[in-house]
């Protein structure tokens, strides 16, 4: 069964460093998303991406964040200069042309020290 | 704005007894609703979804949920809990721009 994969599973970084979180969506999916879950809080939407551009972004998704689909398979989230409050679990999701169901990856746990 | 409320942060049941996880939503229209489950150190797995067809939705592993518009509820049930059901459960709504709005989650504990 096809699935969304994410790497790395865990990342520890120093405040101010850049991180890139990687996702491989399901191969025939067209819509891609990033969500995050800060420990003890709700899962919250960051950004949606379709046809090589951002469809929608939340208030959290400021200039420090960017997304890219550098080739036909990967979908990346870059945080330019990490802050302590960026520590969270980051989930990638994708869905097909009818946008009915989003399928999630296992997440990347990011810890900023 | 849409919101999803899960009324219980923790639910504890004995193995073999029924499970009820409660969820209420607020929306100006009938949204698509989902239940996802997250086992420890795993991703979010879709349990079931409601997309304006039948109001009683059957999912995987014996779970089902009933959409009740008059009560704006979408409670998740299972007749008989199994130890492997212990996990965190999220009630989720899809908004008009297809992004997901999550509830705060309910942690289900199953006692032997």
**Predicted confidence pLDDT, tens digits, chain A (113 residues):** 778 999 999 999 999 999 999 999 998 898 999 999 999 889 999 999 998 899 999 999 999 999 999 887 899 999 999 999 999 999 999 998 777 889 999 999 999 99
Q: How many CA atoms lie within 13 A of A79 on its CB side?
A: 25
Could you tell me if B44 lies within 8 Å of chain A, comparing CB atoms? yes
Could you tell me if B5 lies within 8 Å of chain A, comparing CB atoms? no
Contact A99 B98 (CB under 8 A): yes
What CA–CA distance (Å, rounded) separates A5 from A73? 11
Which pLDDT score, from 0 to 100, does residue B15 have? 97
Q: What confidence tier does B95 reach under pLDDT thresholds 50, 70, 90?
A: confident
Which chain A residue is nearest to residue B38, measuring alpha carbons? A106
Which pLDDT score, from 0 to 100, does residue B47 have? 95
Cβ-based contacts of B88 with chain A (< 8 Å): none
User: What is residue B25's DSSP assignment?
Assistant: E
How large is the greatest C-alpha to C-alpha distance in chain A, in angstroms? 40
For residue B49, is pLDDT > 90? yes
Which pLDDT score, from 0 to 100, does residue B23 have? 97
Taking only the tens place, the pLDDT of each residue in B5-30 is 999 999 999 999 999 999 999 877 77
Given the structure tokens 């509830």, which residue do they identify?
B103
Query: Which of B6, B98, B107 is the best mutation test for A, with the most CBs of A within 10 A?
Result: B98
Which pLDDT score, from 0 to 100, does residue B55 have? 87
% chain B with pLDDT above 70: 99
Which pLDDT score, from 0 to 100, does residue B54 have? 82
Say how many CB pairs under 8 Å bridge A and B.
49
Which pLDDT score, from 0 to 100, does residue B46 have? 93
């Amino acid at each position: 069964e096809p699935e969304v994969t994410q790497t790395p599973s865990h990342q520890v970084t120093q405040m101010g460093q850049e991180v890139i979180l990687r996702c491989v969506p399901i191969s025939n999916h067209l819509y891609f998303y990033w969500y995050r879950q800060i420990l003890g809080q709700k899962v919250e939407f960051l950004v949606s991406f379709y046809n090589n551009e951002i469809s929608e972004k939340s208030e959290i998704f400021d200039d420090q964040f960017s997304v890219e689909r550098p080739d036909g398979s990967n979908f990346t989230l870059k945080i330019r200069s990490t802050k302590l409050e960026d520590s969270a679990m980051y989930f990638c999701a994708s869905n097909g042309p009818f946008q009915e169901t989003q399928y999630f990856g296992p997440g990347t746990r990011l810890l900023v020290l | 704005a849409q919101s999803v409320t899960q009324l219980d942060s923790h639910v504890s049941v004995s193995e073999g007894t029924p499970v009820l996880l409660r969820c209420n939503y607020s929306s100006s229209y009938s949204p698509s609703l989902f239940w996802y489950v997250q086992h420890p150190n795993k991703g979010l797995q879709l349990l079931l979804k409601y997309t304006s067809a039948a109001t009683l939705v059957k999912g995987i592993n014996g779970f089902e949920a009933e959409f009740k518009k008059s009560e704006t509820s979408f409670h998740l049930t299972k007749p008989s809990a199994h130890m492997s059901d212990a996990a965190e459960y999220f009630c989720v709504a899809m908004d008009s721009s297809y992004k997901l709005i999550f509830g705060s989650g309910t942690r289900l504990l199953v006692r032997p």
